[in-house]
Structures are given as structure tokens and as C-alpha cells.
Structure 1
Amino acid sequence: MCEEVVSIDLGSNSFRVLKYDCKNHKIVAEYNQVVGTADGLVDTGLISQEAQQRVIKALKKSIEVVDYKPSCAVAVTTAAMRKASNNQEVLKNFEEQTGVKFTIIDGNEEARLTLLSVKYALKREKIDSSNFILLDIGGGSTEIIVNTNNEYKANSFDFGIVTMTQEFLKYDDLHNDLKNRKIQVKKYLDSLNVNLKDYTFVATAGTPTTIAAVKLGQDFFSYDRQTVNGTIVNLKDLEDCLSIFDTCSKEEITKLVGSGRVEFIQVGIYIYRAIFEVLGKNESIVLDDGLREGVALNACLKSKV
């Protein structure tokens, strides 16, 4: 099998690269950058030229920092690219400019790969990984996966922190839409006929990890994924974060969450809180592991002889 793989996850807002040691199951190197892929997408239906240039710049920087051969990277992209009418033109541009070839994956594949990484992470953290509900809040979509032992049901919902922020500029409009989204999520969960009380609530992606980091006294510059992994976040932690963001300056919030995330973090918390309410849960386990780790693990498994 390949001893090292490089995985790339290009989301609606974030760009994440990972070099992974398949043999020892360790991260060798990583690179993260906010690129705002979906900026303006709601209004135009297009990935803008400005966003494309930010992604290309981030790709070139990641090749330098992580030290990988572009043509060998396993690169995936998700909701923003699924929605963009110019996606093929954009991906061709990325390949021509950097040598990295992206695959657009659908919501089901995104859920499968994220689940793969989370299952591994739960075992690594010595947390029961049999029955759990996984929430993955993305920039352009939100995935909910119900895992029962070795089987799972997944659904990709057409809302995320970037698209909701861009679409609903007024507070009341946002919260009215969230009410409808809660009905939509509840209908899906009811159709599965499972007892939610028997399932642990697990959350991944930027919003849950940011809340966990703030709870632990970390900011964007002191973020430590090892201590964030397995952190319990409850509804009070969400309210505490909302209070902090309401009273802090933009500069202070940027220090906590990083540039490019300030305008989205509160909407992310509202989505997270809405899912808490639908599930009737008071707390969730937070994991940093997500899609890029799943892509890497999947590539490792495929390369086994």
C-alpha cells in the first residue's frame, strides 16, 4: 500500500490539505486556508474569478508547504462546486494552473467519507462508535448521518453557513428559514424510525470545533486539534459563544475564529443549535476530523494490496 497520501478538500469557504501516513495513521503535514469559494454564488450561480484566484494561490502555497506532487493528490470539492454553473470551466482552470485535478463529489459520498474519518476518530479517542448521529455543517450544505453499528443512513441538506449568510441578510428571515429547516430535518429523522435517545450526538467542521476551542480557552492562533478532539459542547457553550460574538469587536472575533470566518460563525451556531433542538440533545462530542481525513483514509484503504 502507499505509505503516504495527500488529500485536498475544497469547500464553500475553506481549503484544507493533508499529507497522511497510511502505515502509522499519522498526519505528516497539513495546510488550511479560507478561500471563500462560494462568495457571490447565491446571486450569480458562478464561482467568481476572484474566488478562483484565491483557490489557485492557496493550491500553489499548499504544494510548497506540504511538499507534494500535484498530479498525485486526491482532491475533492463539494457543495459550492456542485451548485456552480461554471464548475467544469473552473476545475479545468485549477488543473491547468496548478496540476491538481478535482473531483466533484455528491452529498452521499461526502457523508460516507466524513463518516469514515469520524468512526476512526471515535475509536482513536476511545469513544463508543456504535450508535451516533453525526452533524457536519458545511459552507453550502449540511450533512446528517445516523450510524447504527455497521450501517448508516445519510442525508445532505441544501443549506450551509455561507449560503444562509448570503441569502438571509435580515435576522428574522434567517430564523424563519431555520424553522423550516428544522421541520425538514425532523421529517427525515422520523422517517428512519430510530430512538434518538439511544444515539450519541457527534459534530464536526468549523463551527463545532471553534466553539470547543473557545470553551477550552483557545483562539485561532493557539488552536490545538488534539485537545479539541473529544471535547463535550453543550447548549450553554453555544449561548456563551453568541454572547462573546455580540459584545466583541471584529478584531477580537477574528482573533478567535480566524479571518474569513467572522461573518459566518454566528449563522453556524444558529444551525448547530437548531440541530440540538431537533435531536432533543443537551450536549455533543466535537471532532476535528472530517472530509479531508476521510478522503485520505479512503485512499489508504484503496491502495492496500
Structure 2
Amino acid sequence: MNNEIVSVDLGSNSFRVLKYDCKNHEIISEYNEVVGMADGLVDTGIISKEAMLRVISAINHSCEVLKYEAKDAVCVTTAAMRKAKNNQEVLEFFKNETGINFEIIDGDEEARLTLLAVKYALKREKINSDNFILLDIGGGSTEIIVNTKDNYKAKSFDFGIVTMTQKFLKTHDLHNDLENKKIEIKKFLDSLNLDLTNYSFVATAGTPTTIAAIKLGQDFFSYDRNIVNGATVNLEDLTFCLNIFKDSSQEEITRLVGRGRVEFIEVGIFIYKTIFEVLNKKESIVLDDGLREGVAINYCLTKCRN
């Protein structure tokens, strides 16, 4: 049996592909592109034709770069597709045009797969993986997972950097909104009846990795996941990044965070800061591994046993 698997994660803003070695549990190659799938979703409730065409273009380009067949990849899509009224029509269009077959997964499955990837990553980085709180800030949803040894409790919250930015541009009420989210998150954490003092705080996805990269002197073009993995970020680093963005031109910010992310990064940092405050944590461990890695590992564990 072929030990290579290609996994695809189509999020609200990003399209991420991974070629993975099941035998050695190693990343062979990867592809990332901003596709802005949730553009206008808050207002219209649908995935636009323009966004659909951007995704098609990204699928075709990734197939050329990573040399894989779209029909053979294991593909998932998340919050934006869960919310879109035209999701079935969109998925059918993708399949007809490229052969790719996406499964819409719910927040619970998204959390389970992301956690699987993070546990492997913590072991790889030789970081204790018994008790930790995992934050995954997505474009359309935010997952918080509390892992206690072999058990975990997860909750998917209905806000992310893309949807919150779109809402914020209309209502200008971001900080009020985040205060309400704090109450919601605290309610979930309190319901677990756990003393979270000795739980480490781990964060994955674009916002935490971008902040860690800037702290380490990288920009979007010199980004190195191997250096970012296992780095720590604190509240001062968040403030530092916000100040950099405040004093930088659009061009400079694009160089730091990448095209298609500029308008969302500030809201992402405020969401990250909110979670720091709710958890009362001083620092967080940052990992690049997330859903697409979890999809690949899950496939390897269930389908490649023989």
C-alpha cells in the first residue's frame, strides 16, 4: 500500500494541502494559498462565484506543485461551508471541475482532528502533552479544547477572524463582542470543573504562527514552520505586533503576514488576547500543525494499518 497521503483543509480564508508520509509520520511537502472563501458570507449567506473560482484555481495549482490527483486526496472543509446556504451546490461544482471530494465536518470533528495533530506535534517537539488547553482560531469558528491525559473536552465557538472582521466593519463593536465571547468561553471552562492552573496553553493556526514568526524575525516570505514550532508567545508580543501594524504601510504589513491576511490579522490578535485573558495565562506555545495534519494522521492510523 502507498504510504503517502494528501490531505486538504479548505477553511474560510485559507486553502492548505499536505503530502504526508504515513510510515514515518513526516511531512513531505505542503501548499498554502489564501482563497477568501468566506468573502461576503456574513452579508449574503452564500459562497460567491468569485470565491469558488479562486478555490478551483488553488486546487489546480496545488496539484501541479505537489503532483497529486485531486480525486485521491482526503479533503475536509469547515465553518464557512457549514454556514453557506449553497454549500451542496459549491461542493458539486468543485467535484465536477476538479474531481476533488470535500467532506463538511462539524466543529467536534474539527476539534478532534486538530487535537490529534497537536498531540503528535508536542511529542515531536519534546513538549509535555499530558495537560494542555488548545486554541485554534479559524476564519469562521474558534475551537477550544481542554486535554487531560487521554481525555478531552472541546467546544466550537461561532466566531472567527474572517466573520468577526466582516461583522466589525459593519457594527464597529469588536471589543463589546469579545467581552460577550469571554463570558461564553468562561461558562464552558467553568462547566469542566478543572483546575486549569497547571495546564499549558497551546495555540495553532495563522494568527499565533504569524505572531511567533514576527517575534523570531521572520516575515511571510521567510516563514519557517520548523523554527516557529514550539516557540512561545506572550501578551507583550501581541501588543508589539499590534504596534508594528499600526505604524506600518499596507505593503509592509503584507510582507509580514501575506496577501489576503492583512485585513484580518488585527482581529485575530484581539481574539488571541481575549483567550489569554480568559485563561489567565502569561504565555502560549505555538504550533503550525493543525487540521490538515490531523486529517492525514487520522487517515494513516485508520487506513494504513496494513
TM-score with structure 2 length normalisation?
Answer: 0.98
Match of 1:71 in 2: 71
Q: CA deviation at 1:302?
A: 1.2
Code of the aligned partner of 1:277: E
Q: Separation in 1 of the partners of 2:191 and 2:250? A: 42
Identity among equivalent positions (%) equals: 73
Provide the residue aligned with 1:281 in structure 2.
Answer: 281
In the alignment, what sits opposite 2:181?
Answer: 181
Give the whole-Å Cα distance in 2 for the aligned partners of 1:302 and 1:172. Answer: 46
Equivalent residue number for residue 31 of structure 1: 31
Count how many residue pairs are aligned between Structure 1 and Structure 2: 305
Tell me which residue corresponds to 2:296. 296
Q: Which amino acid aligns with 1:41?
A: L
Q: Which residue of 1 aligns with 2:164?
A: 164
Matches within 5 A, 1:116-127: 116-127=116-127
Equivalent residues in 2 for 1:127-276, closer than 5 Å = 127-169=127-169, 173-276=173-276
1:70 CA drift (Å): 1.5
Structure 1 contact 2–300 (Cα < 8 Å) conserved: no
RMSD between aligned residues: 0.9
Runs of 4 or more, structure 1, over 2 Å off, are none
In structure 1, distance between residues paired with 2:204 and 2:176: 25
For residues 2 and 243 of structure 1, the distance between their equivalents in structure 2, rounded to whole angstroms, comes to 49
Uncovered stretches (5+) of structure 1, i.e. residues with no partner: none
Tell me how far 1:104 sits from its aligned partner.
Answer: 0.1
Distance 1:102 1:298 in 2: 16
- Residue 82 of structure 1 pairs with residue 82 of structure 2: yes
Q: Distance in 2 between matches of 1:266 and 1:168?
A: 11
In the other structure, the counterpart of 1:17 is 17
1:107 Cα deviation after fit: 0.1
Structure 2 residue identity aligned to 1:86: N
Following the alignment from structure 1 to structure 2, what is the Cα–Cα distance between the partners of residues 35 and 172?
25
**Following the alignment from structure 2 to structure 1, what is the Cα–Cα distance between the partners of residues 97 and 85?**
20
Match of 1:41 in 2: 41
Secondary structure class of the residue paired with 1:82 = helix
Q: Distance in 2 between matches of 1:26 and 1:129?
A: 19
* Distance (Å, rounded) in 2 between the aligned partners of 1:69 and 1:52: 19
Query: How far, CA to CA, are the matches of 2:35 and 2:195 in structure 1?
Result: 39
How far, CA to CA, are the matches of 1:176 and 1:270 in structure 2? 12
Equivalent residue of 1:168, what SS?
helix
Report the CA distance between 1:171 and its aligned residue: 8.0
The equivalent residue for 1:58 is 58
What amino acid sits opposite 1:141 in the alignment? S
- 1:89 and 1:169 mapped to 2: Cα distance? 28
8 Å contact from structure 1 (residues 203, 285) kept in 2: yes
The Cα shift of 1:184 comes to: 0.3
1:115, distance to aligned residue in structure 2 (A): 0.2
Shift of 1:194: 0.7
Distance in 2 of aligned mates of 1:148 and 1:23: 28
1:244 positional shift: 0.2
Give 1:2 deviation, angstroms: 3.9
Which residue identity does 1:178 align to in structure 2? L
Q: Output the amino acid matched with 2:139.
A: G
1:49 Cα deviation after fit = 0.2
Find the residue that maps to 1:289 and give its secondary structure: coil
Separation in 2, partners of 1:123, 1:265? 29
**Structure 1 length-normalised TM:** 0.99
State the distance in 1 between where 2:99 and 2:201 align. Answer: 39
Residues 236 and 171 (structure 1 numbering): CA distance in 2 closer, same or farther, change over 3 Å? farther
CA distance in 2 between counterparts of 1:21 and 1:172 reads 46
C-alpha distance in 2 between matches for 1:271 and 1:200: 18
| Deviation (angstroms), 1:72 | 1.0
Which 5+ residue runs of structure 2 have no aligned equivalent? none
CA drift of 1:27 comes to 1.3
